[in-house]
Amino acid sequence: MDSQNNEGRGALRSKLIKAGVGLVLLVIIWIIQPFTYENIDAGNVGIKINLYGSDRGVDNITIVTGRVWYNTWTTKIIEFPTFTQSVDYEPFVVTTRDAAEFQVDPKLNYHINSAMVPQIYRQYRKSLSEIEQQFMRNTIYDAYRIVANSFTSDSVMSNREKFEDKIQVLLTKNLGKDGFVYDQLTSAISPPASLRRMIDEKNASIQARLKAENEAKQAIAEATVSKAKAEGEAAALLVRARAEAEANRLRQQSLTPLLVQQLVIEKWDGKLPQYGTVPQFFKNITQ
């Protein structure tokens, strides 16, 4: 009986050991198994690269989207965003034709041509952030360097729009051929300190000249108004004087001897005028 019990317990122990080993093996297999999946989000493009086989390497790249299952031992998935990217670069210095040094602080907005993602990976074999800080930064620097070398320091400041248009043309061409679509470039261009002082002095001189011209125009306008006012007052005085003279003339013409005699009689108070007051007497009766 004891012998049978021992055999039963041994068989059970053996089964438990086998079950435990099997479970451990399943866990190990689950951990090390190579199959997994990648979700390619909207606004992104994934590329599937075969690492083994006769068609391995970057020559066999497939564009994938959505949920992609793959073997991590034999396949690699790399994801590139195709929505607009914004990169703020560190400032750098470029030299104009007359050896003036301008500091440029560029900020680039761009997006990737999704159809050219395989070509981008074949050519650079780097992540997008590495491409931005290496190839794309060098492309931006070269564009500024080439264009700045065709301008003088004065013409850069006075023809800013033309300067930036040439930068845009170069970047559109040089980035576009590798699958990077130019959207917008914001560049803060700072002239050297000496040129900045010259510009400030020139602006101050222009402001002073404009102020003097405005003051001169205002003085001329005020003088014109004063002259017109004086001429108007003089004309009014002349009109009044002429009117008064004409009235006196008419009064004198109307003073006939008979009328004078009648006026004397009407205004005489019965007293004879004293010596020296006769002219005033006649003046009173003629008014």
User: pLDDT at position 60, please?
Assistant: 59
The span from the CA of 155 to the CA of 164, in Å, is 12
**Dist CA 154 CA 45 (whole Å):** 46
What's the pLDDT at 36? 78
Supply 2's token pair.
């004891």
Report the C-alpha gap between 100 and 190 in whole angstroms: 11
Count CB-CB contacts under 10 A for residue 191. Answer: 19
Name the 3-class secondary structure at 15: helix
The pTM of the whole model exceeds 0.75: no
Pairing relationship of beta strands 44-50 and 75-81 according to DSSP bridges:
antiparallel
pLDDT at 253: 62
Question: pLDDT per position in the chain (287 positions), as tens?
Answer: 555 566 666 666 777 777 777 777 777 766 776 777 788 888 888 888 877 765 555 555 667 777 888 777 878 888 888 899 999 999 999 999 988 889 999 999 999 998 888 888 888 888 889 999 999 999 999 999 999 999 988 888 888 889 999 999 999 999 999 999 999 998 888 887 766 666 666 666 777 777 777 877 887 877 777 777 877 777 777 777 777 776 666 666 665 665 556 666 666 566 655 555 555 555 555 55
Q: What are the C-alpha distances in Å from 83 to residues 43, 112, 113, 124, 219?
A: 5, 7, 9, 20, 62
Look at residue 53 in the predicted model and tell me its pLDDT: 60
182, 140 in Cβ contact below 8 A? no
The reported pLDDT for the residue numbered 255 is 56
Topology, domain 85-191: Tetrahydropterin Synthase; Chain A (3.30.479)
- Nearest by Cα to 97 from 166, 148, 145: 148
The enclosing H or E element of 50 equals strand 44-50
